[in-house]
Structure 1
Amino acid sequence: MGADPRERAGMSWIGTGDAYAASYASLCAGTGARMRELVGLAAGRSLLDVGCGDGTLAAAWSDAGFQITACEPDRSMREAAKRQHPSLQVVDAGLPNLPFADQSFDVVVANFVLNHLDDPRDGARELYRVASDAVIATIWSHSSPLWSEVTAEADLVATTSARLPAGKDFERTASGFERMLRDAGWNPKVDELTWTWRVRPQALWASVDGGVAGAGAFYRTLTDADRLRFRAAFDRIVAARMVADHVALEQTAAIAISLRAPG
């Protein structure tokens, strides 16, 4: 139960827009610069950001010169995006069924989205369907064990995350991601990016208190007494790890890009 949002969206993300914007949005944005390098210059190209969350990356794609359409199925995320990026237009839509014609965008992006779906392969096929030039997606392949350590320090037993059926799931590694995408019709090139997320304790706690990701979902199940134990354990572990005003957490993402052949 690290900072790894492997839980499916319906279990741990719906209604958490403000908490996500205050916490994990900056973590998930860590792939942005690498993705823009892979996609290349905007040159006026159109780009669809699927599952845009609070709009952080969609706004960055727009600043880079892409003609942006952003879509997000969760209302709280769309509202957070509207507050933070008033000029960004966010459509109420998401995987597995996108309301767009075949090959209607030059570039299609899904940052930490496929790992939330009931059928990741169907989602990947849908991303590929609406792209005319390139499609790019990410998953977490390694995350900090911080929340597992907090849970153990509090002497609590974490709930087991619901996993997909064997025929739908995939190995959460770069090679497993690549195999899944090939099953979905991509011809992907997959690399890993490791970086250090420097985050203030207040933002980390905002994610838990707001119900974001696995740790937040687990925290919501606790009794008041166990919540106090969890918070005390968090404070002890964070205090031991503080560097200046932040905690440094290492994260690794697998980033896949697939180019579409002309025609």
Structure 2
Amino acid sequence: MSTPEDPSTSTDVPSPASPTTPPPLTFDEAERILWADAGPSYEAVYAGLCARTVPDLLDAVAATTGTTLLDVGTGTGNTARAAVARGAQVTAIDAEPTMLDLARSKVPEADFQLAIVPDLPFEPGTFDAVVGNFVLNHFGRPREALAALLAVTKPEGRVALTLWPGERSAGRAVFPRAMEATPGWVHWDLPKLPEADDYPRTEEGLAELFREAGLENVSTTVIDWEHHTTADEWWISVGSGVAGSGRAYLMQEPEVRAAFHQNYLRVAAEMSDEDGTMRLPYRALLAVGTVKS
């Protein structure tokens, strides 16, 4: 579960102005705020976009009939549904209740649980495979998170994750372009990851993160595709306050919001066909590795 527009780290972290000012939010705390009650809006916009990488993710762990599989950060359940269709025995977790409500309604065959990584409610070596579709972006402690995922995977089992790379594709730049063109726009950024927890959002950076975690036979893949939508549909996420771009939009003064919307429509028109189809190029990284026997 992830929006592609929001950066993995920020540039500015507010500091307390006085002893009575609450301390800055941690990355994980900010993530909980960003995604609170976002299930329906996420399903309307980003779920279809993120579903593109699901077949590659399940192929990477060889999910098939009888595979015991953990879907981490299931969102509204598209990965879980695809894994069930392959015959896998699926357990799926997410930290956001409205996401899980939608996922349960779509995939009654899977076992959905509310859980936050790295505090997983499973015994060591429970699953043949662990997958997470764009969930790695949401971990404030990615190395601890990976260690927890490895712990619940059986020896010689596979762990596979997708990630939005650090370099934005044209599809991911739509809202940032509109922000940059809007006078008076007040930026809202996620807190930075601690330096010791950060890593390059590149093929090699992702592969090295997997190797550091102790995974073997690590490989990475670049996935490119074009997502088709409309300007009205793509606006739902921001207009509903979903994730970083949407939360920032709701913070703005009314006249700034109006100007931003007009700038968005201009950018959207540049990327749309005459029939109104927006064509958004996207790129994702996928890494897979094997747990030591």
Distance 1:106 1:203 in 2: 38
Equivalent of 1:247 in 265, 269, 278: 278
TM-score by length of 1: 0.92
Q: Per-residue deviation at 1:87?
A: 4.3
Give the corresponding residue for 1:51: 73
Q: Which runs of 5+ in 2 are unaligned?
A: 10-26
> SS in structure 1 opposite 2:164?
strand
Query: CA contact under 8 A between 1:73 and 1:92: conserved in structure 2?
Result: yes
Distance 1:59 1:162 in 2: 33
Query: CA contact under 8 A between 1:5 and 1:213: conserved in structure 2?
Result: no
Query: CA contact under 8 A between 1:2 and 1:147: conserved in structure 2?
Result: no
Distance 2:68 2:4 in 1: 35
Distance 2:258 2:232 in 1: 16
Which has the larger displacement, 60-69 or 158-167? 158-167
Q: Per-residue deviation at 1:76?
A: 1.4
Distance 1:77 1:160 in 2: 23
Q: What are the equivalent positions in structure 2 for 1:157-196 lying under 5 Å apart?
A: 157-187=186-216, 188-196=218-226
In structure 2, do the counterparts of structure 1 residues 41 and 123 end up closer, same or farther at CA, with 3 Å as the change threshold? closer
Q: Per-residue deviation at 1:185?
A: 1.9
Q: Per-residue deviation at 1:86?
A: 4.3
Equivalent of 2:182 in 117, 130, 154: 154
TM-score by length of 2: 0.83
Q: Does 1:107 align with 2:129?
A: yes
Q: Does 1:137 align with 2:161?
A: yes
Equivalent of 1:76 in 69, 93, 98: 98
Give the corresponding residue for 1:3: 5
Q: Per-residue deviation at 1:157?
A: 4.8
RMSD (Å), alpha carbons: 2.0
Q: Does 1:28 align with 2:58?
A: no
Q: Per-residue deviation at 1:186?
A: 2.0
Larger radius of gyration: 2
Distance 1:222 1:208 in 2: 12
Give the corresponding residue for 2:260: 230
Distance 2:113 2:72 in 1: 10
Superposition misfits of 4+ residues, deviation over 4 angstroms: none
| Paired AA for residue 8 in structure 2 | R
Which has the larger displacement, 134-143 or 177-186? 177-186
Q: How many residues align?
A: 262
Distance 2:238 2:254 in 1: 14
In structure 2, do the counterparts of structure 1 residues 162 and 14 end up closer, same or farther at CA, with 3 Å as the change threshold? same
Q: Which runs of 5+ in 1 are unaligned?
A: none
In structure 2, do the counterparts of structure 1 residues 74 and 259 end up closer, same or farther at CA, with 3 Å as the change threshold? same
> SS in structure 2 opposite 1:154?
coil
> SS in structure 1 opposite 2:247?
helix
Which has the larger displacement, 120-129 or 5-14? 5-14
| Paired AA for residue 232 in structure 1 | Q
% same residue: 30
Query: CA contact under 8 A between 1:2 and 1:146: conserved in structure 2?
Result: no
Give the corresponding residue for 2:61: 39
Q: What are the equivalent positions in structure 2 for 1:201-240 lying under 5 Å apart?
A: 201-240=231-270
In structure 2, do the counterparts of structure 1 residues 225 and 211 end up closer, same or farther at CA, with 3 Å as the change threshold? same
Distance 1:5 1:21 in 2: 20
Q: Per-residue deviation at 1:4?
A: 4.2
> SS in structure 2 opposite 1:236?
helix
| Paired AA for residue 191 in structure 2 | A
> SS in structure 2 opposite 1:193?
strand
Distance 1:201 1:82 in 2: 29
Distance 1:24 1:2 in 2: 8
Distance 1:58 1:82 in 2: 10
